[in-house]
Chain A
């Protein structure tokens, strides 16, 4: 059993004293190969195969660029070994000037990685789900129906749960939908007619959900005519498609909604129009932004009201009515501008202002509204006041989020896992969120998300998947049932079970994303993450700090997401910073524990810097939040034992904002060199 170390010269970019390096690293178990351009040249890889190595350290460039290349190279020579990459290019060659110190840093990082690899068990893990064909969809609006249609085509048999008697959600009430130019009902019927294997259950609500990705067991309660029916389903995935509701603006009392019959909401008007009811009113005033864009009620723009308000206004104008629209800004996104254009040409009167007073006499409404373009308060007499009220999350979202154990945002909409890359996922694997359940969306957007989700589910469920890292494991013998891991796990991938030996934590393997939060916080060391176990991390840190022969050392914990990428970006831009920064990559800052930080300090580091994702941008949801908290505690401890607390710091960046990180690196280094040498053991 031997460890191979392959070092790439990268056509001279990585320029170290390789002979010396080979001498210092090699021993009985470690074989060193210094080669050039290993991303293109197949030769070195065949050589590795011949040398019969069992583990591999690749010292080359960032895994962002060539991890996949290296994996393929290994596959081509049929060598299946665990490997780890040390970044000598973006993290050393591109960013440092001093040759001697660069050498020390490179050597330390390689040696530490070798130490870590020595007791690594990791094999590549391929997981395969063998699910049944059902998928549960909550909500039979346009998103829910569309995703069912797509899933059917992919071979699934979806089950849709709808809390109301009618299906179709908000769309079903619209007489005409943009840009499809048909009524909402027609549009939905075009989807529904394709559904053959989908089961739609109305008047039903989800009452409990247990299990994990690939195997959720769901209980549904159906209430109808005083009878209650309880149903159980086993599904690999659940899709939240609860959509939106129109807010009833009773709370804006001066608009007299609910007190005067001819003050109605826009969707109430839509329903009348859809039923082809005769609208008796001749003068109609429509007010936009009722409750939306209002700090007192809903501070967001409801996005869709402008469009369906204009559709209704155009329809009424065509029937010969006099229509006024009170607005602040007309937000007809992209091509919907044509609606606004049409409305203008039809002679709909646009008044920039907000109705501030309504008085009613004999069915006639007197509105006073400031025409803000004319600077006059106008009194307008109309027969009907239509309020385009805010679109809000259904109240049932609160209960549902508890049942599903997924998070809501401040407006009770469901929270996406990550706003940039994981838009349809939630913190629990296998629970997806689509359409307007994350906020108001256009029909087009809902359909795109429905399609994307169907495809995502098919790939996740049907295709075997290569796990990037092994899941956490919890040693039942060591677990004391303290529930800390259960509480900190950002993806709710730990369940508490009762055993003969008391309560124990267990990992829901499929839901675990291997961030390491449980490892960092486990008080007994029961929770471990292969590659980042307590022992492996401490070993790595100790070797790294001790091996680097330099004056000042900064242990730099970098998350493999934005932190690592931002550091790479600094390399690509060839910005120079101090060699003192010794890199300790972690999957997420959630993995960094107090032990790791103090290990670094006691091994001889003069400072500790944590680099993670932006606020609210953690790829594992909570990692940077936990780390910030941890840094606070560590600072307090240092303060208490009389060590300068400035030695520990955290920075949260995105790779796009690499310059901020660069400035921080320069500033933090300056601070560390201004401090006296930290005495080991203090």
Chain B
């Protein structure tokens, strides 16, 4: 079975470290990924705001390209992209009229999508398809830390695309456990970080970030792991601004779960682009 990869714009841009660490740690687990050729932007939340119909087509084009190159599973690391791809995929698979409508448009650019692709988030793939036990076997350096897993919104909601409870998800905690960490239970696992409004309403978004960081810190977390470039950029990049704005000691290192996974598998920090994190200096392992 070929595994496809849809990296998304963010992983190509500011959050390249997620892509680097994902590919490296997956390689270490013996999983190879094949990038969808000529993929385009999923539209994020911006394009649906401009034109819902167009946003479906942006996604459908990617799915059609994946289907054409025989990729049955597409790994979508960015939660935002995962949300769009998985939702449109769900609609196409479950709504015949919708599918026909989309294909009518796709015909104009010489494509067609029949719904044979499965969109999977890497967390979902590791836990449900690859297997926690297999990860456990490959751990070389257990991470002995209290780790708060931050899931964000778009990986667990809406219902149609979610693989588990949106109120108290467990999958990433399972990975943390498998690599020797201690999962921290806290109330803001799936609370919004405000990524989609960080530019247009940064005042409000900063408050949301602060709440998440505080909750993690209050519950004794030493690290935060995320599975989404947007959450990461909010919690990591914006952290200094948040700390300054609210004048509270809520500093905490924020890593991609793939970075932590890679470390436990014996990869070095440089390979996992750990130093690109703005909170890198705080990490004490």
A–B contact with Cβ pairs below 8 Å: the answer is yes
Which residues of A are interface residues toward B (Cβ below 8 A)?
253-254, 296, 359
Render B143-174 as a binary contact track against A, CB cut-off 8 A, 1 for contact.
00000000000000001000001011000000
**B167–A253 touching, CB < 8 Å:** yes
Residues from chain A with a CB closer than 8 A to the CB of B167 are 253-254
**B165–A253 touching, CB < 8 Å:** yes
- Which residues of B149-203 have CB atoms within 8 Å of chain A's CB atoms? 159, 165, 167-168, 187
**B187–A359 touching, CB < 8 Å:** yes
The distance in angstroms between the C-alpha atoms of A253 and B169, with both chains bound, is 11
Residues from chain A with a CB closer than 8 A to the CB of B159 are 296
Q: Would you call the interface of chain B mostly helix, strand, loop, or mixed?
A: loop
Residues from chain B with a CB closer than 8 A to the CB of A359 are 187
The distance in angstroms between the C-alpha atoms of A253 and B159, with both chains bound, is 14
Chain A residue with Cβ nearest B165: A253
Chain B residue with Cβ nearest A255: B167
The distance in angstroms between the C-alpha atoms of A359 and B168, with both chains bound, is 14
In the assembled complex, how far is the CB of residue A215 from the closest CB belonging to chain B, in whole angstroms?
A: 49
A-B contact count (CB 8 A): 6
In the assembled complex, how far is the CB of residue B65 from the closest CB belonging to chain A, in whole angstroms?
A: 35
In the assembled complex, how far is the CB of residue A275 from the closest CB belonging to chain B, in whole angstroms?
A: 32
In the assembled complex, how far is the CB of residue B132 from the closest CB belonging to chain A, in whole angstroms?
A: 22
Task: Give the top 3 A-B pairs by smallest Cβ distance, nearest first.
Answer: A253-B167, A254-B167, A253-B168
In the assembled complex, how far is the CB of residue A514 from the closest CB belonging to chain B, in whole angstroms?
A: 43
The distance in angstroms between the C-alpha atoms of A128 and B159, with both chains bound, is 58
In the assembled complex, how far is the CB of residue A437 from the closest CB belonging to chain B, in whole angstroms?
A: 31
- In the assembled complex, 6 residue pairs joining A and B whose CB atoms fall closer than 8 Å, in A order, are A253-B165, A253-B167, A253-B168, A254-B167, A296-B159, A359-B187
The distance in angstroms between the C-alpha atoms of A359 and B186, with both chains bound, is 11
The distance in angstroms between the C-alpha atoms of A296 and B167, with both chains bound, is 15
The distance in angstroms between the C-alpha atoms of A276 and B159, with both chains bound, is 43
Residues from chain B with a CB closer than 8 A to the CB of A254 are 167
In the assembled complex, how far is the CB of residue A297 from the closest CB belonging to chain B, in whole angstroms?
A: 13
Chain B residue with Cβ nearest A254: B167
Chain A residue with Cβ nearest B191: A357
Residues from chain B with a CB closer than 8 A to the CB of A296 are 159
Render B43-66 as a binary contact track against A, CB cut-off 8 A, 1 for contact.
000000000000000000000000
Residues from chain B with a CB closer than 8 A to the CB of A253 are 165, 167-168
Chain A residue with Cβ nearest B215: A359
In the assembled complex, how far is the CB of residue B162 from the closest CB belonging to chain A, in whole angstroms?
A: 13
Chain B residue with Cβ nearest A253: B167
The distance in angstroms between the C-alpha atoms of A254 and B168, with both chains bound, is 8
Residues from chain A with a CB closer than 8 A to the CB of B165 are 253
Chain B residue with Cβ nearest A357: B187
Chain A residue with Cβ nearest B187: A359
The distance in angstroms between the C-alpha atoms of A479 and B165, with both chains bound, is 55
In the assembled complex, how far is the CB of residue A259 from the closest CB belonging to chain B, in whole angstroms?
A: 9
Chain B residue with Cβ nearest A358: B187
Chain B residue with Cβ nearest A252: B167
In the assembled complex, how far is the CB of residue A251 from the closest CB belonging to chain B, in whole angstroms?
A: 8
Chain B residue with Cβ nearest A360: B187
The distance in angstroms between the C-alpha atoms of A476 and B165, with both chains bound, is 58
In the assembled complex, how far is the CB of residue A315 from the closest CB belonging to chain B, in whole angstroms?
A: 32
In the assembled complex, how far is the CB of residue A289 from the closest CB belonging to chain B, in whole angstroms?
A: 18
Chain A residue with Cβ nearest B159: A296
Chain A residue with Cβ nearest B166: A253
The distance in angstroms between the C-alpha atoms of A253 and B165, with both chains bound, is 8
The distance in angstroms between the C-alpha atoms of A296 and B158, with both chains bound, is 13
The distance in angstroms between the C-alpha atoms of A283 and B187, with both chains bound, is 23
In the assembled complex, how far is the CB of residue B6 from the closest CB belonging to chain A, in whole angstroms?
A: 30
The distance in angstroms between the C-alpha atoms of A458 and B7, with both chains bound, is 74
The distance in angstroms between the C-alpha atoms of A359 and B188, with both chains bound, is 11
In the assembled complex, how far is the CB of residue A176 from the closest CB belonging to chain B, in whole angstroms?
A: 35
The distance in angstroms between the C-alpha atoms of A492 and B165, with both chains bound, is 42
In the assembled complex, how far is the CB of residue A303 from the closest CB belonging to chain B, in whole angstroms?
A: 27
Residues from chain A with a CB closer than 8 A to the CB of B187 are 359
The distance in angstroms between the C-alpha atoms of A416 and B58, with both chains bound, is 51
Chain B residue with Cβ nearest A251: B165
The distance in angstroms between the C-alpha atoms of A359 and B211, with both chains bound, is 14
The distance in angstroms between the C-alpha atoms of A117 and B98, with both chains bound, is 58
In the assembled complex, how far is the CB of residue A164 from the closest CB belonging to chain B, in whole angstroms?
A: 31
- Which residues of B115-167 have CB atoms within 8 Å of chain A's CB atoms? 159, 165, 167
In the assembled complex, how far is the CB of residue B83 from the closest CB belonging to chain A, in whole angstroms?
A: 20
Chain A residue with Cβ nearest B168: A253
In the assembled complex, how far is the CB of residue B202 from the closest CB belonging to chain A, in whole angstroms?
A: 22
The distance in angstroms between the C-alpha atoms of A254 and B191, with both chains bound, is 12
The distance in angstroms between the C-alpha atoms of A359 and B165, with both chains bound, is 18
Residues from chain A with a CB closer than 8 A to the CB of B168 are 253
In the assembled complex, how far is the CB of residue A545 from the closest CB belonging to chain B, in whole angstroms?
A: 43
- Which residues of B188-239 have CB atoms within 8 Å of chain A's CB atoms? none
In the assembled complex, how far is the CB of residue A357 from the closest CB belonging to chain B, in whole angstroms?
A: 9
In the assembled complex, how far is the CB of residue B136 from the closest CB belonging to chain A, in whole angstroms?
A: 28
The distance in angstroms between the C-alpha atoms of A253 and B167, with both chains bound, is 6
The distance in angstroms between the C-alpha atoms of A253 and B185, with both chains bound, is 14
The distance in angstroms between the C-alpha atoms of A641 and B187, with both chains bound, is 68
In the assembled complex, how far is the CB of residue A56 from the closest CB belonging to chain B, in whole angstroms?
A: 58
In the assembled complex, how far is the CB of residue B192 from the closest CB belonging to chain A, in whole angstroms?
A: 13
In the assembled complex, how far is the CB of residue A210 from the closest CB belonging to chain B, in whole angstroms?
A: 43
Chain A residue with Cβ nearest B167: A253
Chain B residue with Cβ nearest A259: B168
In the assembled complex, how far is the CB of residue A457 from the closest CB belonging to chain B, in whole angstroms?
A: 47
